[in-house]
Homo-oligomer: A and B are copies of this chain.
Amino acid sequence: MKCRRCGAQASIKLTHHRTAFCTTCFNIYFKKQVERAIKHYKMFGHSENILLAASGGKDSMVLWDVLLQLGYNVTAFHIDLGIGRYSVESRQVVEKFGKETSTRVVIYDLKKESGITLPDIKKVSRKPACALCGTVKRYIINRLTQEQGFPVVVTGHNLSDESTFLLMNTIQWNVEYLSRQVPYLPGNPPYFVRRAKPLYRLLDEEVALYAALNGVPFVGDECPLASGATQLAYKKLLTEWDEKVPGIRHQFYFNFLRVRDELFENDKEFSTNMTNDKVSSHVEAENLRQCDRCGGPTSLEKICSFCLLLDRAKKGKRHKVAKLP
């Protein structure tokens, strides 16, 4: 098989695109997909300070590499969640890559800042670890962007992730989640900055391949707290499915994006209203108030859900986290 771009011997076959590339042209293709994503949604420009949420996994590390190569102005932000060896290695990978690429790296050490770790939080809640981690990360990222004035946060979510979430939300026909299932959220200043997912056109396999071909370092292990997570099962299902029907993840996600506005016409304002407490509900800006504890925006009555989690984890008491209204 020949490379679609240059006609040389192809070494990489992309069944979902029914095409093949040599390694050089695969890299060009990969970066073009990222550029196309950024331009399509006007995610950010070259003059902006972009905050990259760098977990140390393959997606955020590859995104970091590509954004630098495309000439963007990146600051990497890593949250050390205190999940044993996994967190130690993740932090090391991020710090090392920061030095190698002369990128500014900001570290938030959860244990140092708040006295607790994500496993401490998990102990006092019945919620899935991934949901708790989401609450913690959203909170900390929101605070950092406000304190340090970053206009946009980018995350490494790729097409495999997005189609997985889409499938999960579609099975439940969770209209609120579906309405926000987009690669770019325009933000809700002054509460929340823009959020972008420049890898949304690329699959897990492609990101892993890019990392391998370009020597991008990353922590390959799955987070130990995520083991058994529903989303991993759904992702596996979609990947197997794509082997039978190549391109099914693309079809599913891009067809959705095509009709999304039509389906959720009345719900467009959803996208700009995310609080620290929940991404699942529509919250008008006028319904936001300040958390009594941290001063951050919240839709809850007294203290925000991050501060609630911290409180419980510090007391070490396992009881059900109050249901969000």
Chain A residues at the B interface, C-beta cutoff of 8 Å: 170-173, 175, 233, 237, 241, 244-245, 248, 251-252, 255-256, 258-259, 262-263
Contacts and interface: CB of A to CB of B under 8 A. Distances in A.
B173 A258 contact: yes
A237 B171 CA distance: 14
Ranked nearest first, the 8 interchain pairs of A and B with the lowest CB-CB distance are A173-B255, A173-B259, A171-B252, A173-B256, A175-B259, A172-B255, A263-B263, A171-B251
A170 B169 CA distance: 12
Contact of A172 (B172, B241, B251): B251
Contacts of A237: 241, 244
Contacts of A248: 171
Contacts of A259: 173, 175
Contacts of A258: 173
A261 to B, nearest CB: 11
Max chain B Cβ within 10 angstroms of own Cβ: one of A171, A237, A241, A256: A171
A262 B175 contact: yes
Contacts of A262: 175
17 contacts: A170-B170, A170-B252, A171-B248, A171-B251, A171-B252, A171-B255, A172-B251, A172-B255, A173-B255, A173-B258, A173-B259, A175-B259, A175-B263, A233-B244, A233-B245, A237-B241, A263-B263
A275 B175 CA distance: 31
Nearest to A173: B255
A279 to B, nearest CB: 18
A171 B250 CA distance: 10
Given A173-B255, A175-B263, 15 more contacts: A171-B248, A171-B252, A171-B255, A172-B251, A172-B255, A173-B252, A173-B256, A173-B258, A173-B259, A175-B259, A175-B262, A233-B244, A233-B245, A237-B241, A237-B244
Nearest to A263: B263
Nearest to A262: B175
A57 B167 CA distance: 32
A235 to B, nearest CB: 13
Contacts of A244: 233, 237
A248 B244 CA distance: 20
A262 B175 CA distance: 9
Max chain B Cβ within 10 angstroms of own Cβ: one of A173, A244, A252, A255: A173
A288 to B, nearest CB: 25
Contacts of A173: 252, 255-256, 258-259
A244 B172 CA distance: 16
A66 to B, nearest CB: 29
